[in-house]
Amino acid sequence: MAFSPSSASSSPVRSRTRIAVVGAGPAGLMLSHLLARAGIDSVAVDVRTRHEIEHTPRAGILEQRSVDLLADSGVSDRVHRDGARHDGIVLAFGGGGHRIDFQALVGASTLLYPQTDVFADLADARERDGGDVRFGVRDVAVDELLSDTPVLRFTDADGTRHAVRADFVVGADGSRGPCRSQVPEARRTRFARAYPYAWFGILAEAPPSAPELIYSHSPRGFALISQRTDTVQRMYFQCDPAENVADWSDDRIWTELQERVGANGHRLKEGPITARSVLPFRSFVQEPMHHGRLVLAGDAAHTVPPTGAKGLNLALADARVLAEELERAVTHGSTAPLAAYSERALRRVWRAQHFSYWMTTMLHTPPDATPFDVRRQEGELAALTGSAAGSAYLAEGYTGWPRER
């Protein structure tokens, strides 16, 4: 139904739920799924349509604990059927490749299973279970966060206005959503770091060029060779954050990628490029992750640069811990579990912040790098790959740390 001015001027439809969730990406949907399993109602809204979320290419690596959460909580059998187990990665530098063997080093693996598929599985599971999820809403606002019953307001895709009272509001609305700024400046600390580079990400119709991911350091800059299916591949190369995708033909992209991996002895299988975009890099944390009856989850509270693919895994870990603490909060009518959630989640967040920063700065060439800087990075990579302890440290962080208490 088209938006009609009369419905905008009439009073909103009022309803009541336990948990109002702003943002129906992986963090928001996993949370509402886990809450439903605990018998707790929620309403989740997102300004994006389901189609938009499902068709925006995102990262593709799941830690074992993320896979277990999806499978054990009944979201997805598909993750085991369609996910590709990866027992290691290749770090390429100084003219050669060095495999980090996750299984031999830490007895763990990762699964290549795109975030868009995780999202589709979660959206299907919420639909199957009769969950209340509204995509394509607008005019989202949260209010009365210091009262006992905060309110979520929005206009749905049909133009009907809603006011949903809840016990708690969850901001899972990503790094550009409004929720993080609902915490007054005097009540929060923001930690941020910018990087002088970005990733140029592509999807290409081509067979895989390698069985495992290749993280390739080169004097021309970093490149990452990932996969999607037997016929579609995902690759990235370091670029200027202001790079314009329109300036890059297929030929120019393939030449750049081939040079970067060729320096380390790899050769890519080429094909038509079907998607291209520039992904900005940023490290960000807002502490604490709660205020009054508002609590933040996923990218709304923290952002990592993409190297090492921690963003989705952190969002799912937040949802798991938050579901436990919200269950306590609802049962006891108390806000104390929100502080416990923030403390527990931040312990993992800062480990992942360090890991993502470290992988990023070890592998990328800053625009002002001197020959010393490049040789020093090669020295770091040689020390790491030449040491069982160093390699195990990387493997442990990449495959994911144990669950926090």
- Catalytic: 195? no
CB of 309 to ligand DHB, least distance (A): 4
Nearer to ligand DHB, 122 or 224 (CB): 224
Nearer to ligand DHB, 23 or 308 (CB): 308
- The residue annotated as part of the active site, out of 26, 33, 57, 86, is 86
Query: Which amino acid is residue 313, in one-letter code?
Result: N
- Catalytic: 291? no
- The residue annotated as part of the active site, out of 57, 310, 341, 357, is 310
- The residue annotated as part of the active site, out of 150, 208, 305, 306, is 306
Of 171, 228, 35, 53, which is closest to residue 123 (Cα–Cα)?
A: 53
CA atoms within 13 A on the CB side of 98: 18
Token readout for 255 is 């030449």
CB of 396 to ligand DHB, least distance (A): 16
CA–CA separation, 294 vs 311, rounded Å?
21
Nearer to ligand DHB, 234 or 344 (CB): 234
Q: How many CB atoms lie within 10 A of CB 240?
A: 13
Placement of tokens 């390429």 in the chain: 92
Nearer to ligand DHB, 97 or 306 (CB): 306
- The residue annotated as part of the active site, out of 195, 197, 341, 398, is 398
CB of 331 to ligand DHB, least distance (A): 38
- Catalytic: 288? no
Is the peptide bond between 288 and the residue preceding it cis, with omega within 30 degrees of 0?
yes
CB of 63 to ligand DHB, least distance (A): 12
- Catalytic: 86? yes
Under 8 Å between Cβ of 296 and 179: yes
CA–CA separation, 119 vs 99, rounded Å?
30
Distances (CA, A) of 377 to 83, 318, 321: 33, 33, 36
- Catalytic: 393? no
Residues that bind ligand DHB (CB under 6 A): 59-61, 213, 224, 226, 234, 306-309
Positions marked catalytic: 86, 215, 306, 310, 398
